[in-house]
Amino acid sequence: MTTPFDLNNEAAYQTWKQNKLAGYPTTLGELLVEIKDPFALTAGEKEAILSRCTKANMAVFRLTDPQGVRENPLPAITSQLGIRDLDLNLGAGEEGLSALTPGGSAFAPFAHYIPYRAAAIGWHTDGYYNPFHKPVQSLCLYCERPAHTGGENALWDHEMVYISLRDQNPEIIRDLMVTDVMTIPARLDAAGLVARPERPGPVFLVTEAGHLHMRFTNRTKSIRWRADEATRRAVAAIRDVLSRPAAGFFQGRLEAGWGLISNNLLHTREAFQDLPDGAVRLLYRARFFDRLPTV
């Protein structure tokens, strides 16, 4: 299949890039959609969310009456948007949702993992340790209760990062598409047995449907990059781009009743702090193997 992400098809890439950049959002407010009833989205609300995701791979929603919602609205919202193939990972509960709160993993050994702590998390896409032929294509969040301080997210459209790197030097993209350029080492259980095998894969890949997917973590531990000079230059280039906010970068904090709908874009989380005798930060996360419909 010919796609604009084929390095041998410059004409298709230039056309796609021109369309991508035309009318691209410049503020987080342009990505915001207000929702009156999350269990019965209007046609306008649904179109507003999906159109933002089609353009920028993300939309932020805000419930107009979060106090009136008596159950977690995220499953209802995502189902109405057409994504249903949940990643039922070990950190998730029975509904396939992960409670991002200190110690909140449904699988006790994961409670010390960084998503379930108050520490900062650097640039990454979700599920980078999945087999690359089974990528997490959609990432959605819902904030039930923000932290007392901190917990802000940076969000970056991975297609805009791709443009920055390809326009700098197409060979960077070629090197980041090598099928074993980034390997996540095996995870061992308490007995020292392999609970998850090592997972090699590319950083950028094109899905069967022709969409660009990014598999990345900026961590320096529990990761192994291909040991050659081309990879070293490519990794340095992507880290340099991520150190300088540009088009496609947005920053903000989800408050109570707010959420994120995305095609698993790059994101971070600042460290946060709760009051010792108060309620703790609680966000719910859902990850899907299907991508949001294009409008």
Q: What is the pTM of this model?
A: 0.94
Is 270 part of a structural domain of the chain?
A: yes
- Over residues 86-107, the pLDDT tens digits come to 998 877 877 889 999 998 887 8
Is 211 part of a structural domain of the chain?
A: yes
Distance separating alpha carbons of residues 268 and 123, to the nearest angstrom: 5
Is 1 part of a structural domain of the chain?
A: no
Is 4 part of a structural domain of the chain?
A: no
Q: Identify the pLDDT of residue 194.
A: 81
Question: What's the domain range around 279?
Answer: 10-288
Number of domains in the chain: 1
DSSP string of 107-173, one letter each residue: SGGGTTSGGGSSS-EEEE-TTTTS-TTS---EEEEEEEE--SEE--EEEE-HHHHHHHHHHH-HHHH
Distance separating alpha carbons of residues 55 and 67, to the nearest angstrom: 31
Exposure of 238 in the CB half-sphere (CA atoms within 13 A): 30
- Over residues 110-128, the pLDDT tens digits come to 787 888 899 999 999 999 9
The residue to which tokens 């933002």 are assigned: 52
Is 5 part of a structural domain of the chain?
A: no
Q: Identify the pLDDT of residue 255.
A: 97
Is 2 part of a structural domain of the chain?
A: no
Is 68 part of a structural domain of the chain?
A: yes
pLDDT band of 78, cuts 50, 70, 90? very high
State the average pLDDT over residues 249-264. Answer: 97
Neighbouring C-beta atoms of residue 32, cutoff 10 Å? 16
Is 84 part of a structural domain of the chain?
A: yes
- Over residues 190-214, the pLDDT tens digits come to 777 787 899 999 999 999 999 999 9
Q: Identify the pLDDT of residue 187.
A: 85
Categorise residue 226: left if φ over 0, alpha if ψ from -120 to 50, beta otherwise. Answer: beta
Q: Which of 35, 14, 13, 33 is nearest to 25 (CA)?
A: 33
State the average pLDDT over residues 127-134. Answer: 91
Amino acid residing at 242: L
CATH number at residue 180: 3.60.130.10
Q: Identify the pLDDT of residue 271.
A: 95
